[in-house]
């Protein structure tokens, strides 16, 4: 029967996201509604039991009524019992099993709406209780499988396009490929089906599927990284400077003026080059006032100062992750080994994203030494490639660089364009 859409109540969270609604709406506009939604009578109206994606698509199309099957709660209990009998008989496989589990979810959550994702405790069907376990737990225990397996089966049933479902049913797509495809947009799913069906051999089909799925996975990861980085950049722009600080930055590069307790000769003491600071003075710098809650730190550290550098990382509120190495063209001084390298520690705080694949380059850079404490331009370029979207600050800077803010008693305020 056709029922008035305005009389259908959807229990649970109305903000729950469903994939491919626009694609489904386009299909329904072209070929109509092929399957009824399922509703239960509830006073003067109806409660949705199954078919929320179709209902949302109908609303997108502006339909006032749609085809529905009306059931009673007692009827739902009988249907659930029959469905469970079939499931436990282990007679359903592949796509048919997925559809049965998706159907079980619709019936189970209609009987126990308090267990539905986003549902409110106390919002229960007639004669239902609040003691029912969530759908995935109840189903997994009955079938002797994991909750994750149940969840993936329902996702395949609900999210695969018609072409992808048919390919899975015919075993052109295996379960792993179908599971991955269920989380992807409709055009990608159909592209996957085309790739595996056009392959000449099963081995070529599996290879084509792996390549396309890996490509899509990387693209989606990069999209999420960029979205997160852009959000952090917006927060950095909006964050007020604290206590007269110069601003808030998500990327911080620092080359502290370490104070060494010994020098081979007074002519080589670092104080001859620039004023130094004690470890306690460096640790006490108000780095929290000039960095965002989500931030990455690039900290220069010589080998003798490695332990102290780790103290600085912790004092500034960061967690050590990894390091880069600068290999120099000339050997330096040292009591135990004459140093020819310097370290750049990488540390993070909050939920700063890792760089994209294009920003993950070689951890070793070979570059000549220049003036005291001047660092190779390659390291600036490396940081810019890792976080192109984010604002950057260099502490203890010796020279300005385009796109960077600088802080330090020797830092020029403008870039020297020569």
Q: Is residue 413 a part of any domain in this protein?
A: no
- The answer to pTM > 0.85 is no
pLDDT > 90: what percent of the chain?
36
Residue 264 and residue 392 in one domain: yes
pLDDT of residue 139: 93
- For 303, other C-beta atoms within 10 Å of its C-beta total 14
Q: Is residue 296 a part of any domain in this protein?
A: yes
Its domain, for residue 9, covers 2-169
Is 319 in contact with 299 (CB distance < 8 Å)?
A: no
pLDDT of residue 129: 44
pLDDT of residue 418: 47
pLDDT of residue 44: 72
Which pair of tokens denotes residue 73?
């709660």
Q: Residue 360 and residue 298: Cα distance in Å, rounded?
A: 14
When pLDDT is cut at 50, 70 and 90, the band that residue 274 belongs to is low
Mean predicted confidence (pLDDT) in 175-188? 91
pLDDT of residue 62: 94
DSSP state of 258: B
Q: Is residue 416 a part of any domain in this protein?
A: no
Residue 119 and residue 103 in one domain: yes
Residue 183 and residue 299 in one domain: no
Q: Residue 345 and residue 304: Cα distance in Å, rounded?
A: 14
- Say whether pLDDT at 184 is over 80: yes
Q: Residue 118 and residue 138: Cα distance in Å, rounded?
A: 18
- 2-4/65-71 β-pairing: antiparallel
pLDDT of residue 347: 97
Alpha carbon separation from 202 to 168, 185, 407 (Å, rounded): 14, 24, 60
If you average pLDDT over each of 6-20, 23-37, 45-59, 315-329, which comes out highest? 315-329
Residue 176 and residue 160 in one domain: no
12 vs 389 pLDDT, higher one: 389
Residue 304 and residue 321 in one domain: yes
Which pair of tokens denotes residue 100?
């049965």
When pLDDT is cut at 50, 70 and 90, the band that residue 313 belongs to is very high
Average pLDDT, the chain: 83
């Amino acid at each position: 029967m056709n029922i008035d859409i305005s009389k259908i109540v959807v229990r649970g969270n109305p903000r729950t996201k469903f994939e491919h609604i626009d694609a489904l709406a386009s299909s329904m506009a072209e070929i109509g509604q092929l399957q009824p939604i399922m509703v239960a009578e509830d006073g003067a109206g109806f409660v949705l039991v199954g078919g929320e994606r179709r209902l949302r698509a109908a609303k997108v199309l502006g339909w006032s009524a749609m085809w529905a099957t009306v059931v009673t709660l007692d009827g739902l209990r009988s249907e659930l019992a029959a469905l469970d009998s079939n499931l436990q008989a282990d007679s359903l496989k592949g796509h048919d099993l997925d559809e049965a589990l998706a159907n079980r979810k619709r019936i189970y959550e209609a009987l126990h709406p308090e267990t539905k994702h986003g549902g409110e405790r106390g919002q229960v069907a007639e004669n239902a209780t609040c003691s029912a376990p969530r759908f995935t737990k109840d189903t997994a225990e009955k079938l002797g499988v994991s909750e994750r397996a149940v969840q993936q089966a329902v996702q395949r049933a609900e999210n695969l396009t018609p072409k992808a479902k048919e390919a899975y049913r015919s075993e052109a797509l295996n379960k792993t490929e179908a599971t991955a495809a269920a989380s992807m947009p409709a055009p990608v799913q159909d592209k996957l089906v085309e790739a595996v069906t056009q392959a000449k051999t099963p081995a070529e089909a599996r290879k084509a599927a792996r390549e396309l799925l890996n490509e899509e996975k990387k693209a989606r990861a990069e999209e999420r990284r960029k979205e997160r980085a852009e959000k952090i950049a917006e927060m950095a722009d909006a964050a007020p400077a604290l206590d007269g600080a110069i601003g808030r930055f998500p990327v911080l590069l620092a080359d502290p003026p370490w104070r060494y307790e010994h020098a081979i000769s007074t002519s080589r003491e670092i104080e001859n080059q620039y004023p130094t600071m004690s470890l306690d003075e460096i640790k006490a710098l108000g780095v929290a006032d000039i960095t965002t809650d989500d931030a990455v730190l690039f900290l220069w550290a010589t080998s003798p100062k490695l332990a102290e550098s780790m103290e600085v990382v912790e004092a500034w509120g960061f967690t050590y992750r990894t390091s880069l190495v600068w290999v120099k063209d000339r050997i330096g001084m040292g009591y135990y080994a004459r140093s020819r390298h310097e370290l750049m520690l990488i540390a993070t705080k909050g939920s700063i994203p890792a760089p994209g694949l294009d920003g993950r380059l070689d951890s070793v850079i070979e570059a000549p030494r220049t003036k005291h404490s001047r660092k190779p331009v390659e390291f600036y370029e490396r940081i810019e490639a890792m976080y192109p979207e984010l604002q950057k600050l260099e502490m203890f800077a010796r020279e300005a660089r385009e796109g960077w803010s600088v802080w330090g008693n020797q830092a020029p305020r403008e870039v020297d364009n020569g």
